[in-house]
């Protein structure tokens, strides 16, 4: 599978991986219906469901209707990711096993607390997006020592490049990843 990558923060490089690994935090881009429009999220694979990455927990912000207005909310949910046709690319960001086992990680007040530090504006601001939330979360995770990211803008550019490459391959293969 060519959609899985590893980010090495200190050297600002991304290299291909053949599979997901337990105890790691991944960036996930999912297709939103337009060529360059993706939902940005974090993913921790559940090692109890083979293959690793088939299911796991996604941490992200969603845009939903509340009292007749659209609002952004942080959420975590168990999802099928590895085999989802909407997943464009995945990038391994960090080994988070030092924070505990899978069950500990997905309910950890430490990790959830870090994600909750990212400001989610009230209402429906046009300048806010899952990408903006993701990049702010990367900064907080870096400051807290969960991952190493020397340049969040370079990381964004590299993940976007991988997303475009994956979409190009998908379109060239007439709807099949290869």
Q: Any idea where the domains of the chain sit in the sequence?
A: 5-176
d(CA 66, CA 53): 32
Residues of the chain with pLDDT under 50: 1-2, 10-11
112 Cβ contact partners less than 8 Å away, ≥ 6 residues apart: 76
The pTM of this model reads 0.89
- In this prediction, residue 70 carries a pLDDT of 76
- In this prediction, residue 169 carries a pLDDT of 77
Report CA-CA distances (Å) from 122 to 42, 52, 89.
Answer: 22, 36, 29
- In this prediction, residue 9 carries a pLDDT of 60
Q: Which residue, among 135, 133, 163, 161, has the nearest Cα to 149 in the 3D structure?
A: 135
Residues in the chain, how many?
178
* Chain centroid offset of residue 85 CA: 15
- In this prediction, residue 13 carries a pLDDT of 62
């Amino acid at each position: 599978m060519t959609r899985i990558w590893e980010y090495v923060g200190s050297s600002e490089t991304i290299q291909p991986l053949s599979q997901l690994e337990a105890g790691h935090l991944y960036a996930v881009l999912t297709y939103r219906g337009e060529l360059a429009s993706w939902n940005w999220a974090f993913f921790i694979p559940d090692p109890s469901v083979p293959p690793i990455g088939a299911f796991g927990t996604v941490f992200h912000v969603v845009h939903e209707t509340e009292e007749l207005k659209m609002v952004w909310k942080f959420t975590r949910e168990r999802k099928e990711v590895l085999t989802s046709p909407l997943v464009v690319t995945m990038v391994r960001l960090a080994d988070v096993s030092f924070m505990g086992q899978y069950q500990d990680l997905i309910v950890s007040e430490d990790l959830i607390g870090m994600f909750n530090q990212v400001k989610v504006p009230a209402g429906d601001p046009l300048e806010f997006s899952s990408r903006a939330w993701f990049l702010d979360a990367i900064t907080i995770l870096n400051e807290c020592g969960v991952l190493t990211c020397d340049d969040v803008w370079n990381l964004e550019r590299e993940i976007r490049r991988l997303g475009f490459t994956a979409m190009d391959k998908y379109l060239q293969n007439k709807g099949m990843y290869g």
